Structure 1
Amino acid sequence: MALEHETQRVLRPLERGRAGQVDAGAAGGHDGLAVVARGVRKAFGEHVVLDDFSLEMAPGEFVALLGRSGSGKSTFLRVLGALDGDVEGYVRVPQRRAIVFQEPRLQPWQKVLRNVTLGLPGGRATEQSALQALAEVGLSGHAQAWPRTLSGGEAQRVALARALVREPQLLLLDEPFGALDALTKIRMHGLLQDLYRRHRPAVLLVTHDVDEAILLADRVLVLSAGRISLSVPVDIPHPRRRGDAGFSALRSLLLNELGVREAA
């Protein structure tokens, strides 16, 4: 059954045997939730990666999704972004969504400013919004730079600016810092936290990095056998430090759920 991408109307809950649905509407439905996924199933041939997967997210909630390689984390993110078809189930998401991938995916023949406004209506207002977004990510002097002149961290900042300028109600992050060196990743974590506090979208972060999930998220999920096997709130005040007892205890819990044994 195909997952249908529909906009501007409220869809009925999924009934057994009906085609999958995506409803892209307001930031929160009548139940006050930003994201609702029910009974989502996705298979590649005989390999089922999502099996009766269900998730709810509140407006402004930051959720991190962990799982082993091939567990379906990125597949679910693509479902929320309406990038993956042939999926069964019901999904309701906000109409304004933006995705940041591990690779910045900048067009090398376009300067930074044009990469940020890609796909948006032209005009002075759009350009001003893009310049403001670049300033927010610390790249106000790079609007006319070519992508090839940027470092990896700068390129990913441009990708974040491109997401911000769309004023998303749901921000989808697919391993956005996985290709960065350790120091740049730390800076990007701080930047993301600042941007999140200012804009307060709902955020779904797909990551392999347990520490990253604990540092950033309000809630951490573990995906196993196509479903959520663990959902745990991160009740650790900011700024979070890896050496704190609560941080270490939560890391151990999550690693154990992922089947990873910590070194003594």
Structure 2
Amino acid sequence: MALEVLVASSAPAGRAVIVSGLNKRFDVRPVLADLSVELQAGEFVALLGRSGSGKSTFLRVLGALDKEVEGYVRVPRRRAVVFQDPRLMPWLPILRNVTIGLPQTAAVKANALRALAEVRLEHKADAWPRTLSGGEAQRAALARAMVRDPQLLLLDEPFGALDALTRIRMHALLRDLYLRHSPAVLLVTHDVDEAISLANRIIVLTDGRISLNMPVDIAPPRQRDDRAFGALRQRLLAELGVERG
């Protein structure tokens, strides 16, 4: 695999991610098949697909968590990943979880406290992970990602384990963080409505290939009862092989 990590603050011509001819196999089964795609700096892209379509594998490649692939991948140096499981260290308080892997300087601590304030968790800086609700734990995971000032934010179904009301609040929080910091974002999700609500562009993976790649041309605020929202939902569900009555 040719993996090039950008040292500059941005990619040429505003491109945050460049992927060309990406292939991945598990034993003899192809998972990603000659995949080529680009993400622009500051673009929010949602990645949909059935289970086993290669979504999470692709995200792991962009995060340099899976290098056993063929092809060319160019990504920014500053990347952060948020998973469905917040992956907090239970023996560390929240502030130390947010700064884990970073130099423990006064400046880093101050940045971490600002990140916790952005996700409305500054009052939990000294709390232990076991005392947090599911939504609070995922907000801490977002703070841990954002304190690294990522040029590329990778989200692997980060709200899949949350209840419906908490998911709505997390959508609003993620949208606010995105508008404030403007990273390129790749959100892997099974939720079609989530993808339409948040993304500027939606990609559908089918058997490791891109079967649909389209912008979301719906002006905010995007309401689920809006006709354009419903029409796009129907198109995406059809692409995913889901029939709606």
Deviation, structure 1 residue 198? 0.1
For residues 30 and 198 of structure 1, what CA distance do their matches in structure 2 show?
Answer: 23
For residues 50 and 221 of structure 1, what CA distance do their matches in structure 2 show?
Answer: 14
- The match for 1:31 is 13
SS at match of 2:159: coil
- The match for 1:176 is 158
For residues 86 and 195 of structure 1, what CA distance do their matches in structure 2 show?
Answer: 32
Matched, 1:22 2:3: yes
8 A contact 2:52–2:207 mirrored in 1? no
User: Counterpart amino acid of 2:160?
Assistant: G
For residues 61 and 27 of structure 1, what CA distance do their matches in structure 2 show?
Answer: 15
8 A contact 1:27–1:34 mirrored in 2? no
C-alpha deviations, 1:85-144, integer Å up to 9, x for none?
A: 210000000100000000000000000000000000111000000000000000010000
SS at match of 1:240: coil
C-alpha deviations, 1:30-63, integer Å up to 9, x for none?
A: 2331100000000000111100011101100000
Matched, 1:40 2:46: no
Q: Residues 27 and 63 of structure 1: is their aligned pair in 2 closer, same or farther, counting only changes over 3 Å?
A: farther
Matched, 1:196 2:178: yes
- The match for 1:150 is 132
Number of equivalenced pairs: 244
- The match for 1:13 is none
User: Counterpart amino acid of 1:24?
Assistant: V
For residues 183 and 30 of structure 1, what CA distance do their matches in structure 2 show?
Answer: 40
For residues 113 and 42 of structure 1, what CA distance do their matches in structure 2 show?
Answer: 37
Deviation, structure 1 residue 22? 1.0
- The match for 1:213 is 195
8 A contact 1:72–1:226 mirrored in 2? yes
8 A contact 1:27–1:93 mirrored in 2? no
- Percent of matched pairs sharing the same residue: 67
Deviation, structure 1 residue 29? 2.5
Matched, 1:93 2:75: yes
SS at match of 2:13: coil
- The match for 1:4 is none
Deviation, structure 1 residue 155? 0.0
For residues 116 and 158 of structure 1, what CA distance do their matches in structure 2 show?
Answer: 7
For residues 206 and 217 of structure 2, what CA distance do their matches in structure 1 show?
Answer: 23
Matched, 1:84 2:52: no
Matched, 1:260 2:242: yes
TM-score under structure 2 length normalisation: 0.98
For residues 102 and 30 of structure 2, what CA distance do their matches in structure 1 show?
Answer: 36
- The match for 2:116 is 134
For residues 29 and 180 of structure 1, what CA distance do their matches in structure 2 show?
Answer: 35
SS at match of 2:123: coil
C-alpha deviations, 1:136-166, integer Å up to 9, x for none?
A: 0000100000000000000000000000000
Q: Which runs of 5+ in 1 are unaligned?
A: 1-19
Matched, 1:55 2:37: yes
Equivalent of residue 106 in structure 2, options 124, 132, 136: 124
Equivalent of residue 166 in structure 1, options 117, 125, 148: 148
Taking only aligned residues, the RMSD between alpha carbons, in angstroms, comes to 0.7
**Worse-superposed segment, 154-163 or 25-34:** 25-34
Q: Give structure 1 regions of 4+ aligned residues with deviation exceeding 4 angstroms.
A: none
For residues 212 and 230 of structure 1, what CA distance do their matches in structure 2 show?
Answer: 17
User: Counterpart amino acid of 1:21?
Assistant: A
Does 1 or 2 have the higher relative contact order (CA < 8 Å, sep 6+)? 2
8 A contact 2:199–2:216 mirrored in 1? yes
